[in-house]
A and B are shown apart, each in its own frame.
Chain A
Amino acid sequence: MTKSSETHQESAQERSFREAGFTVAASTAIHGGKVYELTSAECAGVRVAVLHTPGKGLTVGGRVELSQSDLKGTSADSEQALLVLGALTAGLQPQGIEAHFLAGNEGIEGLMLSVHVCQDKGEPEQLKASIVKITQAAEAVAKAVTQRGPDRLVAVRQAARLAKAAPAEVARVQVSVAPTFDLAARDRMMRNTNP
């Protein structure tokens, strides 16, 4: 790992990350390029790493933790793991996102979702859009892989779908009764409406 010092001069790549709203937490030179670990509120708890390969562009990766999934610790060659990887690949391909299992000495530890950005430095807005794309996909997949049995493949396939939504931008309304299956809310409503 390269040491940062008080006199470290920000590289063009690091400036690009900063302009996109991300902080470089660490960087590591590897064969052919450099890996940057980024942090930001945009990362929403997903660990983000960006590989810069001069002349070949950037690869943005987001790590999905499997701590709540029974896939953790299994072999990357197991039937379940391959089925999940297949479902992810089929679902994420149209978005240009790839999925890889991350395995350690004791089996699968996590998943890495990655997308390639062709430009060498990456315009800040394009970089930010790629990172948001990866973190949103990673969040959805992390939830889906906690399911078990046949439900998991359905959930993974659903989570890998290309999706978009808009935030609800409506004014709060004065509500007297709202539908719910919540027991505490039911008790309150019964106290208010029953004699």
Chain B
Amino acid sequence: MPTLSLYAFDRSGPELAGPFFQNHIGHGPDNWAWASISGLGNTHSVLTWERPSNEDILDLSNVANNPVALATIDALLTSPASRRGPVRTSYVTWGNMPSQVTGGNPGLHQPWELLATINIDFHVSTPWYCSDADGTITYYVFFFLDGGGNLRGQVQGWYYSYSGGGPFCTGSINSSLNSAVPGGMASLQNLLNTFLPLFTAGRTFNMLYYLPGHGVRSGFSSDNADNNVALAVIPN
């Protein structure tokens, strides 16, 4: 059945992701429904989606944390670096991405186009004379429908940042990351090329959009779009 979904975000726009509350009401076709969320002290933006009954959902966090994907991701990080916690997914506008990524090809996207982010939190253990380092590796994936309505995903960049590693170990940490992270683009693209056809199963689509969270369609709950987002598609 169609679903009216209401999302209330802490941040000043849905495109900024972050913590949110959600409420979902299913309703009959051409029928009425309303949804509300109250008592929220920290809401700065609201999003509503009228979601058709034939919508299909790709829960990106679910996909990124399946054993096959995790094995590929974990292979990028060699000791003393290791993944810390689940892989997080989110979205970001091209205009809000780091200039080090967008600056080389600024016309690649409109500033308002959204890319998915695959975020791998990591920890690096260091010798006694250095501080351990904690950071995040981010891969940017552009999901889109081509002219034939086919769902495609293209890995378009990477970024890492971390704190710690001082006073002497940042050089070797950088060297390891500079060696491992760029190669992850091809690994991630191979994963997408394998997995997307399984999801689409030969279907074409006329619309796609991001939903904060896991793409649920019922109930009231809270989540954080810095950690979980879903891709919704409407089949032809």
Contacts and interface: CB of A to CB of B under 8 A. Distances in A.
Interface of A: 90-91, 93-95, 136, 139, 157-158, 160-170, 172-182, 185, 189, 193
Given A94-B163, A173-B152, A165 B113 contact: no
A177 B156 contact: no
Nearest to B45: A181
Interface string B104-129: 11001110111000000000000000
B54 to A, nearest CB: 14
A168 B166 contact: no
B206 A181 contact: no
Given A165-B100, A179-B208, 20 more contacts: A93-B166, A95-B166, A139-B99, A161-B135, A162-B170, A162-B174, A164-B178, A165-B98, A165-B101, A166-B158, A167-B104, A167-B157, A177-B205, A177-B207, A178-B110, A178-B114, A179-B231, A180-B93, A182-B110, A193-B207
Contacts of A165: 98, 100-101, 157-160
B157 A94 contact: no
B161 A193 contact: no
Given A157-B163, A168-B140, A176 B146 contact: yes
B77 interface: no
Contacts of A160: 163
Interface residues of B, number: 57
Interface in B148-181: 149, 152, 154, 156-167, 170, 174, 177-178
Contacts of A180: 93, 110, 112-114
A94 B105 contact: no
Given A158-B161, A177-B207, A169 B47 contact: no
Contacts of A174: 146-147
Contacts, number: 135
A168 B152 contact: no
A181 B114 contact: yes
B13 A177 contact: no
Nearest to A173: B154
A172 B164 CA distance: 37
B100 A179 contact: no
A169 B178 contact: no
